[in-house]
Amino acid sequence: MQMSGKNILLLALMLVSAGLAAALRPTASLADELSPINLNAMVPTAFGDWQEQPNHSSQVVNPQQKQILDKIYSETLSRTYVNAAGYRIMLSIAYGKNQSDALQLHRPEVCYPAQGFTLLAKQPGTLDLLGRPITAIRMETSLGQRHEPVTYWTVVGDHITKNGIDKKLTEMHYALRGTIPDGMLVRVSSIDQGAGNAYALQDQFATQMVNAIAPEHRQRFAGDPNVN
């Protein structure tokens, strides 16, 4: 089976990263230099037009079984929010202190199909967080009659990563400094037959959520605006 140029480049970066890891053996944890993450306390239960709706977290797709989640992630958060019009947004956040090759954030385009969903479409998009556009991923998924558009973004250390290659380059950048970065994946989704309507409301939700987080914690969720 032939590999695409993108896959070859990603494989090469992984091999180089593995070589750097072996040579440099970064031991300093970026997470240990920062305040501890407590997702339940950091993310408000109400902001803008959105209010948490208890007892609806079972609708949120989880990437793996609990024992695997506990190994990969330091913190996870799953909530469902509803606005005044009755529209529901499902929020899932996964945080890992150690973004090494063995402990990687699991992307939704992998975990959704693993739970029986069909991945209908995937493309890059942008979100306005902290007054600047960041790169996000848009997905359309379905499971029977459930049509679930998804928006997610990934933060590694201070960086919003655009794709797998960018994520690997960011990890290599930290390895050269002798540092193990942390990582966070923020995912919002909704059950909606209209992807355009879903993405517009998800954008509003994400912007209001990050703005409602305490200023000293916002960069952990949206990256450093001074880092490209």
Domain extents for the chain? 5-222
HEC string of 16-36 equals: HHHHHHHHHCCCEEHHHHCCC
Q: What are the residue ranges in the chain where pLDDT is below 70? A: 1-6, 9-34, 57-59, 62-72, 99-105, 166, 170, 173, 175, 227-228
Token couple for 174 = 């930290």
Summarize pLDDT for 38-86 with one digit per residue, the tens: 999 999 999 999 999 987 765 677 655 555 555 667 788 999 999 999 9
- pTM, two decimals, is 0.80
